[in-house]
Amino acid sequence: MRHLKKGRRLGRSASHRKALFRNMASSLLLTERPDDVNESYYLYSDYLAADTPGTGHNTPKVKGRIVTTVQKAKELRPYVEKCITVAKKALPHLREAQKFATKAKPNTPEYKEWRESEQWQKWNAAMAPAVAARRRVVALLGNQRAVEILFDEVAPRFEDRDGGYTRILKLAKPRLGDAGIQAILEFVGNDRDRVKTEAERPAFDSDEQAAPAPAAAAPEAPAEEPAETEEKSEG
């Protein structure tokens, strides 16, 4: 009995589910790669050219999203967000390590001098948490290119966001073949986000008629004559 066992089996063994999540999470991150980079790892250039005519690259149709079933999307979402959270925690350490880094190339006298100095000790201490986080993400994804995209592009984008890096959008059209309910798993914070704008109330003719007319200015009272003129008239 599977009491208190969270998660869906998805008709797979534990190792099969782990491989499924690693591949799907890597596929989602690889959709953020530049269009001029081929990350399909296929050996047949004819297949790539047929996949995207004119480019020769297996480029994604829409960046930052994949289409899968609803059940897989619900299980994959926390897996992807965990990877993003681990990468976000490494960003402050990477910035701190940049203060002690050197621009000298390896095997040069400048590099060897830096390697034996205290600056390298400080750099090594600052980089240790970032290296540990990167190794942890590599174990979760199993794809070096996906890890690079995660640390260089995706994690900095969500640095000021506390969770909720992805969303699930159900599709009305079932999958052809098994009629599975499909869904989109994509990153938030893109140009497809909803933008709330406050609508202005239109002005109608009835509103203008109902508006009160401005009050007419009261006529000014005549100025009083001086007292000397009144005395002359009495005499």
Give the strand order in the sheet containing 65-69: 65-69, 182-187, 166-170
Residue 83, in any domain of the structure: yes
Report the pLDDT value the prediction gives residue 99, as an integer from 0 to 100: 93
Exposure letters 99-130 (e unless 16+ CB within 10 A, then b): ebeeeeeeeeeeeeebeeeeebeebeebbebb
Residue 209, in any domain of the structure: no
Q: Does residue 43 carry a pLDDT above 50?
A: no
pTM over 0.75: no
Report the pLDDT value the prediction gives residue 59, as an integer from 0 to 100: 74
Q: In whole angstroms, how far apart are CA 220 and each of 77, 103, 216, 217, 225? A: 78, 86, 12, 9, 15
Residue 161, in any domain of the structure: yes
Q: What is the pLDDT of residues 68-87, one digit of tens each?
A: 999 999 999 999 999 999 99
Residue 222, in any domain of the structure: no
Mean pLDDT of 164-170: 95
CATH code for the domain of 95:
3.90.1030.10
Total count of domains within the chain: 1
Residue 194, in any domain of the structure: no
Residue 180, in any domain of the structure: yes
Per-residue confidence band for 210, with pLDDT thresholds at 50, 70 and 90: low
Helical (H) or strand (E) element with 167: strand 166-170
Q: What is the C-alpha to C-alpha distance for residues 102 and 187, in angstroms, rounded to an integer?
A: 35
Q: What is the pLDDT of residues 108-138, one digit of tens each?
A: 999 999 999 999 999 999 999 999 999 999 9
Question: What is the domain extent for residue 48?
Answer: 14-187
Q: Does residue 44 carry a pLDDT above 60?
A: no
Residue 134, in any domain of the structure: yes
Q: What is the pLDDT of residues 7-39, one digit of tens each?
A: 889 999 999 999 999 999 999 999 998 765 554
Report the pLDDT value the prediction gives residue 224, as an integer from 0 to 100: 62
Residue 143, in any domain of the structure: yes
